[in-house]
């Protein structure tokens, strides 16, 4: 991880085919494009790859979440449950449609705790977003059973887990829809870009139209139709150059994951010698996309001591308890209710506070995060860098 490590002739060829047409827009200009529709081809290839009925390309993983939520009809003051360990985009999308994020604890999978999910469901709950965080599976079957029991749509945020599977089934295909990110640090990348997948044709149609200003695609699904508009949408269209790169990257995805698995196995073998170490619970090792390697120490003090040795040897790990991007207590802009809107939206409306978050609200997650260390797993590590990391882990084993 990430896919730019393996950019090559395949991506270049697809991009050149786009440049030769002079058409970068994914729709229209039929007379100029010589039947080159790279975004549409990318969508079809991604749907086939994952086994989904339909795929809708968009401008980012964040946009994919908003498109999915909007197409599902989620809006003002609806509650959407997600987990407290995720990238900020997950709850930003919830806020952006006017809904209210509700956060669950995580468990040793580093993903949503189904038992806490059950506790957080209220009559205001309108959807659940489960995140396959750090490339490995959430307890998706248990979570889907809960969603189904409460008749709630389930979105799988699969931003960090493209190509991941559970018992052979692709992550993103268990719920109502799945969303993906192809940004600059993802296993497969288009620089920016994202994808929604679903086997619900009506939902796909709404996503297709919403991401194109609500333009009616009924006459020619995936293309512009009669230009009627049955609802208000927005512009989240992927451009042809991104679709071109996506085609090249998708063809390499399984190979990249295989390389990540091999590199992760080396890290795990080295870390296993650290006294007191344990590892993140992976529900299906074969289906792990291996984008990250996470290991735990018995407590926060021990994790800090081990990480100090790693830092002293030029190979400091991510400590999720200290990370400011991905864990609930560190989201100062959310907890501090910081906004550019003069009227306080989305934290206030009509002069009244809509919700408030307690920094201490997820103690079980905090206990896990404080003792968890993590490395991003490369596809093609430089031999010297890999040797230095393994040597640092060996020194930590002597602590």
> Nearest CA to 242 among 42, 67, 89?
42
CA distance 43 to 273: 44
Active site (catalytic) residues = 186
CA distance 276 to 378: 26
């Amino acid at each position: 991880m990430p896919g730019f490590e393996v950019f090559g002739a395949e991506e270049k060829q697809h991009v050149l085919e786009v440049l030769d047409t002079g058409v970068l827009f994914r729709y229209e200009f039929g007379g100029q494009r010589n039947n080159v529709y790279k975004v549409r081809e990318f969508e079809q290839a991604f749907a086939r790859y994952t086994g989904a009925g339909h795929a809708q390309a968009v401008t980012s993983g964040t946009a994919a979440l908003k498109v999915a939520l909007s197409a599902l009809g989620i809006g003002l003051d609806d509650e959407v449950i997600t987990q407290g360990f995720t990238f900020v985009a997950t709850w930003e999308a919830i806020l952006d449609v006017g809904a209210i994020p509700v956060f669950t604890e995580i468990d040793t999978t580093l993903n949503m705790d189904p038992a806490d999910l059950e506790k957080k469901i209220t009559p205001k709950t309108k959807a659940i977003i489960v995140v396959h965080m750090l490339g490995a599976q959430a307890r998706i079957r248990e979570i889907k059973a809960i969603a189904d029991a409460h008749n709630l749509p389930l979105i799988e945020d699969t931003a960090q887990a493209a190509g991941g599977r559970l018992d052979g089934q692709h992550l993103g295909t268990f719920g109502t829809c799945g969303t993906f990110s192809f940004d600059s640090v993802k296993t497969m990348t288009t620089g920016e870009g994202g994808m929604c997948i679903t086997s619900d044709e009506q939902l796909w149609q709404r996503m297709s139209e919403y991401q194109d200003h609500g333009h009616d695609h009924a006459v020619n699904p995936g293309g512009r139709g009669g230009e009627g508009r049955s609802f208000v949408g927005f512009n989240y269209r992927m451009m042809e150059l991104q679709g071109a790169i996506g085609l090249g990257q998708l063809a390499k995805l399984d190979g990249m994951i295989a390389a990540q698995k091999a590199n992760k196995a080396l890290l795990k073998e080295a870390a296993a010698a650290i006294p007191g170490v344990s590892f993140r619970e992976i529900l299906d090792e074969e289906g792990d996309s291996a984008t990250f390697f996470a290991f735990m120490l018995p407590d926060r003090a021990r994790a800090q001591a081990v990480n100090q040795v790693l830092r002293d040897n030029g190979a400091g790990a991510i400590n999720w308890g200290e990370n400011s991007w991905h864990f609930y207590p560190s989201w100062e802009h959310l907890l501090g209710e910081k906004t550019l809107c003069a009227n306080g939206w989305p934290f206030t409306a009509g002069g009244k506070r809509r919700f408030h978050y307690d920094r201490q609200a997820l103690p079980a997650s905090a206990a896990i995060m404080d003792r968890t260390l993590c490395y991003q797993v490369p596809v093609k590590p430089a031999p010297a860098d890999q040797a230095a990391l393994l040597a640092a882990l060996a020194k930590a084993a002597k602590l």
